[in-house]
Amino acid sequence: MSTVSELATQVYTLPTADGDYTFTGAKLGFGTSRRGSHINHHPNTFAPRGTRCSGCRWTDTHIFWSATDQRYIIHIVGRSIVPGEHDKIRTAWAEDADDVLDGMLISPPRHVRSSQGDTALELPQPNADALQEAAERDSDLAAVFRAWSRSN
Ligand SMILES: [Zn+2]
């Protein structure tokens, strides 16, 4: 198990909501909710608004270590291939491994909260996959991921 300071680095350029962001660093983890097949809609069409199809809309999550900033970068893109829809990009910088987890947790949908009276935060599957992969490269993230996995 290594720490981020020992990782081989290269130059990356990420699209962000504020334009391209270039830094020197290492890619730690990736996760996606994309599926190769389409569901819930007619073949050769796109999923209408409100219809869930992870062949049409999905989330790509990356975790990077930025040696330039000496911080982690969480890069989450809501992708869509539906005509008229655009990718939604969220970029967050995290000071430490705990901040990485915090930046990847989301509130459950409102209908889940009201039916279960549960306000616990969730780690969506692509984010969990990215964190799990990153944990193999960074001991700090490994400790945070283990603690989260034990309690959830
Ligand atoms: Zn589809």
Name the region of 87 (left: φ>0; alpha: ψ -120 to 50; beta: rest): beta
CA of 81 to the centre of ligand 1 (A): 9
Spatial CA neighbour of 129 closest among 94, 104, 98: 104
Work out how many domains the chain is built from and give that number: 1
Residue 118 lies in a domain: yes
Is 3 part of a structural domain of the chain? no
Mean pLDDT of 96-104: 96
Domain membership flag for residue 2: no
Quote the pLDDT of residue 6: 82
pLDDT above 90: residue 80: yes
Residue 130's pLDDT is 98
State in Å: Cα 41 to ligand 1 middle: 6
pLDDT tens track for 113-143: 666 666 688 999 999 999 999 999 999 999 9
Please give the residue range of the domain that contains residue 110.
Answer: 8-151
Single pTM value for the model? 0.90
Dump pLDDT digits (tens) for 6-26: 888 999 999 999 999 999 999
Ligand 1 centroid – CA 14 distance (Å): 26
**CA 86 to ligand 1 center in whole angstroms:** 15
1 within domain boundaries: no
